[in-house]
Chain A
């Protein structure tokens, strides 16, 4: 039987997957199975991070795409390969092609389909930060027993809340 994926090599792995409540049988060659993260040898306890670091090392994106340094935190791809950790959110844009391939290898997909998110608008953040400052001032005023100032601060906080 030929591999269901590449239709070139002999299938040696029967993979049963469950997607959207439907069971699907796949017959895969060793190579295609490995690409889906299926080990053909008997599974032994493994360190998940070990596999991940291996994937980091096996990336096939040309070295030129990895050149450069994150403008926000200064991380290079060499740093990333050493630790397996990104330095900041900007790194994901700086090294986007490499990261896309890595994420695909690690997760089988590079597209988020979970809960979408919209960051709060600036005015909300502005208000939150002003509130934080006022609360801190209030705490200090109470500590120093400046009750008149505290009452005024409390009113301003109420208005903002």
Chain B
């Protein structure tokens, strides 16, 4: 099976278009629901045949849903490693579903339904992981879209549900609502003013948690944090969302305040630092991923502070995704060594910035 993401509107990355609210600070909003089909062992303990039956059952249910009829079905278990890495880098599947983690080899029956802004992973840690991904800070919209699909599938496929514990999941940390709502937020102001430690400690006191760009277990790079609810049980979906909306709203205010302080107290130092980041990206001949992410963080901040004008947030968002290793390999049509990847990355970033350079000032 070959992967053709051009079949999806905008390659499945409409969430990069910076159309949502607060999109200069909040890159994207994601809400996911974990569900299991009753009558089968959870994915990790299920036999190959059971996983394929789960896939068939969900496929029948999804085929009957009007909202999912135009979706692209990808049998992840039939893709080569490069294609799976591409799906992962595009945030369309998890690392576990893509079989890219050493402790979780690729499973038979691993598949994903991709529709505009909505996806359903099948045979992930749970049989179903329904996910909604939106541009900017749009928690309620993301949940509303997901809730409809969840009810529709749940009316056709019996989910594992316990009257006291709620929806049952492989990991007890997801039991109850099965909902994890998260916001991918860029906080360079709080990092530069060294306020970030206090803010993150505050999140944990509120029952929220944070991760890096790629979710669980990933490092924080480029000052991107994924803030999400930690508990899934004992509170309603609306309650969990309300709290996240409130707290993230507060974090955005703190970030904006930190940016104002930076400009006021260290204006020319910051301006110089950020233009240097732009200069490096514009002219460097080799860039590691971490370097690119850190300079892009600087340029994104400069655009947010209106120190650099004429460069769109959409372009910066695309750079985050398309300058990753599997994307660069796919663009070159062959697998690249690490040093080749760094050269290709610098070339790609230079070209993208060059295209908008006329307007930058």
Give the chain B neighbours of A153 by CB distance below 8 A. Answer: none
Give the chain B neighbours of A87 by CB distance below 8 A. Answer: 41-42, 44-45
Closest to B162 in A: A92
| B149-178 interface bits toward A, Cβ cutoff 8 Å, 1 = contact, 0 = none | 000001111111110111111111101110
Is B236 interfacial (CB-CB < 8 Å)?
yes
Q: In the complex the two chains form, what is the Cα distance from A8 to B2 in whole Å?
A: 66
Give the chain B neighbours of A112 by CB distance below 8 A. Answer: 162, 164-167, 175-177, 233-234
Q: Are A49 and B172 in contact (CB under 8 A)?
A: no
Q: Are A89 and B36 in contact (CB under 8 A)?
A: yes
Q: Are A135 and B231 in contact (CB under 8 A)?
A: no
Residues of B within 8 A of A (CB-CB), count:
62
Q: Are A92 and B170 in contact (CB under 8 A)?
A: no
Is A34 interfacial (CB-CB < 8 Å)?
no
A26 to chain B, nearest CB (A): 11
Give the chain B neighbours of A63 by CB distance below 8 A. Answer: none
Q: In the complex the two chains form, what is the Cα distance from A25 to B64 in whole Å?
A: 50
Q: Are A18 and B206 in contact (CB under 8 A)?
A: yes
B239 to chain A, nearest CB (A): 8
Is B24 interfacial (CB-CB < 8 Å)?
no
Q: Which of B59, B125, B179, B200 contacts A85 (CB 8 A)?
A: B125
Give the chain B neighbours of A93 by CB distance below 8 A. Answer: 162
Is A103 interfacial (CB-CB < 8 Å)?
yes
Is A159 interfacial (CB-CB < 8 Å)?
no
B152 to chain A, nearest CB (A): 11
Is A45 interfacial (CB-CB < 8 Å)?
yes
Is A88 interfacial (CB-CB < 8 Å)?
yes
Q: Are A107 and B231 in contact (CB under 8 A)?
A: yes
Give the chain A neighbours of B28 by CB distance below 8 A. Answer: none
Q: In the complex the two chains form, what is the Cα distance from A39 to B171 in whole Å?
A: 23
Q: Are A88 and B45 in contact (CB under 8 A)?
A: yes
Q: In the complex the two chains form, what is the Cα distance from A85 to B41 in whole Å?
A: 12
Q: Which of A75, A86, A107 contacts B232 (CB 8 A)?
A: A107
Give the chain A neighbours of B160 by CB distance below 8 A. Answer: 88-89
Q: Which of A37, A52, A85, A99 contacts B170 (CB 8 A)?
A: A85
Give the chain B neighbours of A131 by CB distance below 8 A. Answer: 60, 64
Q: Are A18 and B236 in contact (CB under 8 A)?
A: no
Q: Are A117 and B167 in contact (CB under 8 A)?
A: yes
Give the chain A neighbours of B246 by CB distance below 8 A. Answer: 18
Q: Are B216 and A49 in contact (CB under 8 A)?
A: yes
A25 to chain B, nearest CB (A): 12
| A108-150 interface bits toward B, Cβ cutoff 8 Å, 1 = contact, 0 = none | 1111111101011000110011011001000000000000000
Is B21 interfacial (CB-CB < 8 Å)?
no
Interface residues of A, Cβ cutoff 8 Å to B: 15-18, 37-39, 42-43, 45, 47-49, 52, 72-73, 75, 83-89, 92-93, 99-100, 102-103, 106-115, 117, 119-120, 124-125, 128-129, 131-132, 135, 161
Could you give 27 example pairs across A and B, Cβ below 8 Å?
A: A15-B205, A17-B206, A43-B204, A48-B209, A48-B216, A49-B173, A83-B44, A87-B41, A88-B42, A89-B42, A92-B175, A103-B233, A107-B233, A108-B234, A110-B233, A112-B165, A112-B176, A112-B177, A112-B234, A114-B179, A119-B38, A119-B159, A125-B156, A128-B57, A128-B157, A131-B60, A131-B64
